[in-house]
Amino acid sequence: MPYHLTQEELDAEVDAQVKAHFAPKPPAPPKEKVLEHVSQHFIDMARPADNQKDSDYVRSIKKSYSAGQKESSSSSSQAVGKKSGKTVPQLGEQAVQSIPPLIVQTHVSIADRPAITDDLRRQAKEAGVTVEQLLGLEEIPGITEEEVKYQYARGKPLVKPDDVKLLPTRMYNLHTWYMQKTANSNEESLMVKVKPEHYFHGKDVWIEFSELFQLFQQDALDKSIVSCYCL
């Protein structure tokens, strides 16, 4: 639209375009009619054929079904109660069968013993057993619970030495204080002062070092150390 038109001409042009847009549209041309014999041809093609052949799978199923029907009809003519096919003996009906006794070798001859090498000696030393025990020629003595369980001793770490570096910060600091205290004094306990604002009145609680060991080992705790935790 040219920009030199006046406002009146511009309004007249817009009105003309609006009227042309909303003016009645001419009727659409008539659709082409499909011939009757053409439409009937496609209708006939869509219908399933009456003489459609079965697939190989369907024929095999029908054949198996017919064979089963024939066997069923022939077996029904036989005597009632007669079982066909193989029968499996139930519990208590199996024939008694014997097996040869199990031979357990109770000793190893010198000729059958494996050669003791330096590698076997090294493995036995690392395992803390003898070479004969490693090879199963001798019985390994059992280990008691007291030997496995870490025991408390004053001045020794409250946990296994390799586990000290794995302690949390607060428990590590407490463990360091305990090691210094037992090394520089003969004290056997720790005094904890409970303030009045903690328990209505002041109170002293004594905690044995052995109870600290139980705390670090997550073992049975004495009521004094539980009281300190609660207060």
Q: Residue 76, by phi and psi: left (phi above 0), alpha (psi -120 to 50) or beta?
A: alpha
Contact between residue 228 and residue 210 where contact means Cβ atoms under 8 Å apart = no
In tens, the pLDDT along 110-134 reads 555 667 788 888 888 887 778 887 7
In tens, the pLDDT along 14-52 reads 888 888 888 888 888 888 888 888 888 888 777 766 666
Question: pTM for the complete prediction?
Answer: 0.35
Percent of the chain topping pLDDT 90: 6
Domain ranges within the chain, ordered by starting residue: 160-230
Distance CA 185, CA 182 (A): 6
